[in-house]
A and B are shown apart, each in its own frame.
Chain A
């Protein structure tokens, strides 16, 4: 018997943990920065103001929901550019269906029917995306870019070019009220996020999503039905967008085609800042949560300290670049195999 071969492998697990620790640290530093600034410049607290924290929570919901679906798609090695308008499409559908149903079956019934129909409608763009990508092998970037246009046009057509007011008590409660000091919309989102975390981290579905992004060939040879998986992933992404659209109608008492228009890039940014690679194979739900919080804190914080709103774009852009740079530097210094 020869001596067992034992070779030290880098601690990549610790590396993954470090990514999220770093993002948390960055979030804390951001909060401290805004606290100091607002005390110095405005003589008020930023952090210990319940209203601010609630607003940031509510402000995070919509981009976070898009980013959560995007997380799964990006881990699998794809991208979904259509989420913003799928969200608008779902918002418009929800508003229309609730307005039509409420006089007939009352608020509670209209809420249930409107939510289910809007979710079902939002699944359609995802289904088409998935089939285009999985069956016809259209690159995700192109397929979902096409769907971006289709969903956008359809949403504006359905809305007749305007926003559709809707007043449905259960939906308005979720969108605007608090439970125990926490906005209901935040509670709904957190519950949904925990479900997605379970799906990604603890089930075969999640495991296969990572495998697909890591090596499609390996996934196929392990017997994973990668086509069905791909379709499911794009449907999941558009369901997240659909939920975001439904909550939007509760929050703003209206459905609007452009509801998700500015959120696409924020959603991708949240995933990347959260430590995922755009090449696929890595990323986590909690990473994306921190990414979305970082973006929301920057955007809200800059408004709070009275900086011109356009600086938000600059700041978020810089954070994206820095987070990718730091990630690569860390890989070079510590975890993982280095590039050649």
Chain B
């Protein structure tokens, strides 16, 4: 797996927030059909790294390569256009908008009424429902603000939004943290499906069971630097934990 040419690679990435050096010369790559787990204790820099990859932050140093050539994402829109979808740890939902509006935010479809283009809310809801069906999560209503949904339902909306757009790289920052056990299994099955479809997946989790079940490769960060990288088949949880705590 890891000898396939990487679809997306981050090389020598550094990022400083004021006095905090969040990342220092970090490397991360993912190949088509590969699932890479990004592990590390709290504050290790995982979220910062994937926010750089998805265009939210700009790196102070280092470069991104996508399909073999250097690329810069000035904003999340550019990353999404290139086929990189991200499920953020903080979900990034507009709480006052409904499920359909959140799934389609920034990409609303239109229909015409007497020749005048209007946002097609019915289609947005129907499609949102279909993408949540994949996770086997059904809501009674799709026209309520997501503020009124439970934590797990909201997480499902964020996942549904990312998978609806048929990404080539899917980045998931703790996507199952708020989900019940059956829904967690659905997400794992979903990742397996995407992998079979050739999608590159970067999967951040604190759950070693999930990491070992789903990933091909594990990249460990510790205090903003690469602490190690292992093929999942060739390592064990004890070794990963040792890397995570910097041992």
Once bound together, how far apart are the Cα atoms of A5 and B101, in whole Å?
21
CB of B141 within 8 A of CB of A7, answer no
Chain A at the B interface: SS class: mixed
CB of B153 within 8 A of CB of A13, answer no
Please name all residues of chain B whose beta carbon is closer than 8 Å to the beta carbon of A218 when the two chains form the complex. 92-94, 102, 105
Please name all residues of chain A whose beta carbon is closer than 8 Å to the beta carbon of B138 when the two chains form the complex. 4-6
With A5-B183, A223-B75 already in contact, the answer to whether A204 and B144 are too (CB < 8 A) is no
Shortest CB distance A130–B (Å): 19
Please name all residues of chain B whose beta carbon is closer than 8 Å to the beta carbon of A208 when the two chains form the complex. 106
Chain A residue at minimum C-beta to C-beta distance from B78: A223
Once bound together, how far apart are the Cα atoms of A5 and B93, in whole Å?
21
Interface residue range, chain B: 35 or more
User: Is A207 on the interface with B (CB-CB < 8 A)?
Assistant: yes
Per-residue B-contact encoding for A294-318, CB less than 8 Å = 1, 0 else = 0000000000000000000000000
CB of A202 within 8 A of CB of B119, answer yes
CB of B94 within 8 A of CB of A12, answer no
CB of A9 within 8 A of CB of B76, answer no
CB of A9 within 8 A of CB of B97, answer no
Shortest CB distance A66–B (Å): 24
Once bound together, how far apart are the Cα atoms of A251 and B107, in whole Å?
43
Once bound together, how far apart are the Cα atoms of A6 and B147, in whole Å?
17
User: Is B96 on the interface with A (CB-CB < 8 A)?
Assistant: yes
User: Is A153 on the interface with B (CB-CB < 8 A)?
Assistant: no
Please name all residues of chain A whose beta carbon is closer than 8 Å to the beta carbon of B96 when the two chains form the complex. 210, 213-215, 281-282
User: Is B95 on the interface with A (CB-CB < 8 A)?
Assistant: yes
Q: Which single member of A11, A207, A281 contacts B108 (CB below 8 Å)? A: A207
User: Is B118 on the interface with A (CB-CB < 8 A)?
Assistant: yes
Once bound together, how far apart are the Cα atoms of A2 and B185, in whole Å?
11
CB of B183 within 8 A of CB of A215, answer no
Q: Which single member of A6, A220, A336 contacts B139 (CB below 8 Å)? A: A6
User: Is B150 on the interface with A (CB-CB < 8 A)?
Assistant: yes
User: Is A1 on the interface with B (CB-CB < 8 A)?
Assistant: yes
Once bound together, how far apart are the Cα atoms of A13 and B101, in whole Å?
14
Please name all residues of chain A whose beta carbon is closer than 8 Å to the beta carbon of B149 when the two chains form the complex. 7, 9
Shortest CB distance A328–B (Å): 15
User: Is B182 on the interface with A (CB-CB < 8 A)?
Assistant: yes
CB of A9 within 8 A of CB of B105, answer no
- A5-B137, A222-B76, A281-B95 known, 9 other contacts, Cβ within 8 Å: A7-B140, A9-B149, A11-B141, A210-B101, A211-B97, A221-B88, A223-B75, A223-B106, A281-B96
Chain A residues packing against B (C-beta within 8 Å) = 1-2, 4-13, 198, 202-204, 207-208, 210-211, 213-215, 217-224, 281-282, 336-337
